[in-house]
Structure 1
Amino acid sequence: MSDEPDTGRPSEPEANPADDLGRRLAEGSGIHRTASGQVDVLKTVGGIRGLVEALLPGIVFLGVFMATRDLNPALVSSLAIAVVFTIVRLLRKSGLTQALTGLAGVVICALVARTTGNARDFYVPGFFTNGAYLVALAISVFVRWPLMGLVFGFIRGEGTDWRRDSARRAAYAVATWIIVGVFAARLLVQLPLYFADNVEALGAARIVMGIPLYAMGLWLSWLVSRPAAEPGS
């Protein structure tokens, strides 16, 4: 017999690490839904303000570099824009984490480019970021825990129950492959431009294939993985 006293209360179920991970991923994803149950792509990327903050530093860098053919003013201009966005959010006490993350990204890109003295290297950190996400997402599918299922599952209130349904598992696998395709497309298009030293085309591709392509992939991923009874479907 057990030496532990009987408190008369049922034991609490052990926490499921997968549930905890899914909950954290869902909370950190910033993904929002509309009243009809569809993914709110614009709100997910931070609205118009978030879209501008994400795109403008890269646009300014590319525009200034094309106008001056000088790396330093292009880097300074891009950093200045990112700093202004951060200061504005700090003063308004709104979404500071997003602004700091954007600023850190611009700083890292600027440091790499300044170290090598080559404008094309402003885009090098993005290659590693895209590669890391691609690998992580692909592995999640191969181990039968597609990451988009963990994220969408908690946003939709499914938790990890979708894993008990083969059709739902397959749907979330497809959804995850769609996002893998976004990162793969970026690398397939942008790496050749980088090695060709075509800064103008590389910068333009980075802008177009950044948030706009991700938003489209996210919307499609949500669409193909929606449950049959989901509102608005």
Structure 2
Amino acid sequence: MTVAHGSEPPEGGGSAPEDHAAPLNSSAKPAAEGASVSDLAAGYAEKAGLHRNSAGHVDMLKSAGGWQGIAESILPGLVFLVVFTITRDLTPALVSALAAAAVFTVVRLIQRRPLTQALAGVVGVGISAWLANTTGKAEDFYVLGFFTNIAYIVAMVLSIILKWPVAGLLFGFVRNEGLEWRKDPERLRAYKLGTWIVVAVLALRLVVQVPLYFMGEAGLTALATTRLLMGAPLYILGLWVAWLVTRPAAQPSKPSSSVD
């Protein structure tokens, strides 16, 4: 599920030229307007966490936060599992998980990088630790993720119903389509499908992990393991599949006219 060198796996062994999609409105536009659309696309993609590589594809690894971002999402939960498995004591496991999350915040401070992702991780781990400590159940360390998944599922399903599918809002700007794709029923259907794919990924997490949660401590190891495997790696895979199924159809090249 990881993507080597931070680039999207090429289709058919090569880059996909059709992903260099031009806006659906092919009429000529002033250069200033084209520049503003380009700036808007770049800014929106950056805020959404999507990045376009030099080949014109979404940089899947970078979109997941790079190796550091993936580590920030995986290590606190992994540290919690390892320490709890060794000690069978909830307190040191929770403290270790919080410490692991805090380390990433310090690292970002040293690197002078944005703290948003690291701070969100600390808050998330903190809430998870509070829940587990309050109930005294180790498995409750992972329960926050269920509610987060449900919230995302509801938001994405609503975006489909309202005909503003999330996949279109994200990929449309990366592909320089702006919002023109909403005027094309075929593109709208494609982006609805892409959003359903992401919804399916989130729903799959719940289907697999919720039963393990209700097994209590007996299912803790399996729950923690599936949480790691179905976190960033599954997100990258789902994002890549959604990108592929929503790509615009390749435009036939116009034959060059010869002059006798």
Aligned partner of 1:140 in structure 2 is: 159
Aligned partner of 1:226 in structure 2 is: 247
Superposition deviation, residue 95 in structure 1: 2.5
From 172, 178, 186, the counterpart of 1:159:
178
Superposition deviation, residue 35 in structure 1: 1.3
The aligned amino acid for 1:203 is: A
TM-score between both structures, scaled by the size of structure 2: 0.77
TM-score between both structures, scaled by the size of structure 1: 0.86
Q: Distance in 2 between matches of 1:176 and 1:98?
A: 23
Q: CA RMSD in A?
A: 1.8
Superposition deviation, residue 228 in structure 1: 2.3
Aligned partner of 1:53 in structure 2 is: 72
Check if 1:74 corresponds to 2:113: no
Aligned partner of 1:3 in structure 2 is: none
Check conservation: 2:42, 2:173, Cα contact below 8 A: yes
User: What pairs with 1:45-194 in structure 2 (closer than 5 Å)?
Assistant: 45-194=64-213
Q: Distance in 2 between matches of 1:26 and 1:135?
A: 22
Q: Distance in 2 between matches of 1:92 and 1:143?
A: 41
Task: Write the deviation string for residues 20-41 of structure 1: whole angstroms up to 9, x where unpaired.
Answer: xx99864422111121111111
Q: Distance in 2 between matches of 1:81 and 1:164?
A: 47
The aligned amino acid for 2:243 is: W
% identity of equivalent residues: 56
Aligned partner of 2:237 in structure 1 is: 216
Q: CA separation of 1:119/1:99 partners in 2, compared to 1, >3 Å: closer, same or farther?
A: same
Gapped regions of structure 1 (runs ≥ 5): 1-21
Gapped regions of structure 2 (runs ≥ 5): 1-40, 252-260
User: What pairs with 1:5-16 in structure 2 (closer than 5 Å)?
Assistant: none
Superposition deviation, residue 73 in structure 1: 0.9
Further displaced range: 46-55 or 105-114: 46-55
Q: Distance in 2 between matches of 1:95 and 1:126?
A: 23
Task: Write the deviation string for residues 120-168 of structure 1: whole angstroms up to 9, x where unpaired.
Answer: 0001111000000011101111222111111111122111100111110
